[in-house]
């Protein structure tokens, strides 16, 4: 086996490991979501269309060219993910990324279908590692319109974006880095929702966020500077969220009702 074949085989194996990891976490369900890896400027690995993750085999992962055409010929007619153009445009517009993951992870997707970004000044780690997580306006899935607008955001150095009424997309230096970024986004979204159910969310002040942005520059964290979507004061420990109170209460009511319905279901089974 030559070095090129070995490299492709190794990356295909890495991608398959990440598929299994995301499936086990519930971040990829059925045939939803897609993952790709950049081999070079002309070749990429990507998950096929329409294959549920629980029956996906490593050899099902396709090698494609920069136009999205399959390089490795198969007799069973597998096709690249329907979102292949979105992946390819992200690589074209941001040459230093080497993996893209699109997922319908439930907590992050809940923000996306609520029309909310994750630009929330509450966790320093997210501000440092991921920077801004904006909401990309809705475009029809698997179209050039969606691919174009998402790749424009990625070109602006966003490592993670929410797709309105759709899901989430992350990039990484490799497929494991992209997997880590998706895990961070989903955990962040879930933690924020949990905080809402408790009834209070402390936001970092403008000064605290600015100090984190300055720290990122000193440590060479190549992530976007954060300007939070929620209003906050400049005093440490600010709890000011008045401009978003109605939406927070609505989300809290939804969560409370969902928990209540689960309790009723359990009572009926007993």
Domain annotation for the chain: domains and CATH numbers: 3-218 (3.40.225.10)
The whole-number pLDDT of residue 231 equals 40
The whole-number pLDDT of residue 250 equals 61
3-class secondary structure, 59: helix
The whole-number pLDDT of residue 249 equals 56
The whole-number pLDDT of residue 11 equals 97
3-class secondary structure, 15: helix
Residue with token string 């920077």: 131
The whole-number pLDDT of residue 251 equals 63
3-class secondary structure, 29: coil
Tell me the pLDDT of the chain (270 aa) as tens digits: 689 999 999 999 999 999 999 999 999 988 899 999 999 999 999 999 999 999 999 999 999 999 999 997 665 789 999 999 999 999 999 999 999 999 999 999 999 999 999 988 899 999 989 999 999 999 999 999 999 999 999 999 999 999 999 999 999 999 999 999 999 999 999 999 999 999 888 889 888 988 998 898 888 887 877 776 644 333 333 343 444 555 555 666 666 666 666 666 656 655
Residue environment code for 210-234, b if the CB has 16+ CB neighbours within 10 A, otherwise e: eebbeebeeeeeebbebebbbebee
Region of residue 218 (phi > 0: left; psi between -120 and 50: alpha; otherwise: beta): alpha
The whole-number pLDDT of residue 255 equals 67
Structure tokens at 2: 């030559």
The whole-number pLDDT of residue 120 equals 83
The whole-number pLDDT of residue 183 equals 97
The torsion angles phi and psi of 55, rounded to 5 degrees, stand at -120, 0
């Amino acid at each position: 086996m030559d070095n090129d074949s070995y490299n492709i085989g190794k990356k295909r194996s890495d991608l398959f490991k990440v598929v299994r990891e995301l499936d086990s976490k519930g971040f990829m369900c059925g045939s939803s979501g897609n993952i790709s890896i950049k081999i070079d400027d002309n070749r990429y690995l990507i998950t096929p269309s329409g294959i549920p993750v629980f029956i996906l085999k490593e050899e099902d992962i396709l090698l494609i060219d920069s136009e999205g055409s399959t390089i490795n010929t198969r007799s069973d007619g597998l096709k690249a993910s329907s979102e292949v153009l979105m992946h390819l445009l992200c690589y074209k517009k941001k040459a230093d990324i080497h993996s893209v993951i699109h997922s319908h992870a439930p907590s992050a997707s809940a923000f996306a279908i609520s029309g909310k970004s994750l630009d929330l000044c509450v966790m320093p780690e997210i501000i440092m590692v991921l920077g801004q997580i904006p909401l990309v306006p809705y475009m029809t899935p698997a179209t050039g319109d969606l691919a174009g607008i998402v790749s424009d955001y990625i070109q602006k150095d966003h490592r993670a974006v929410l797709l309105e009424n759709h899901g989430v997309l992350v990039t990484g230096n490799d497929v494991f880095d992209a997997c880590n970024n998706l895990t961070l986004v989903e955990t962040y979204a879930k933690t924020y929702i949990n905080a809402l159910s408790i009834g209070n969310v402390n936001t970092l002040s403008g000064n605290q966020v600015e100090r984190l942005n300055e720290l990122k520059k000193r440590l060479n964290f190549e992530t976007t500077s954060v300007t939070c979507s929620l209003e906050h004061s400049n005093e440490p420990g600010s709890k000011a969220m008045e401009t978003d109170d109605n939406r927070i209460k609505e989300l809290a009511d939804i969560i409370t009702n969902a928990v209540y319905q689960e309790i009723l279901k359990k009572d009926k089974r007993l």
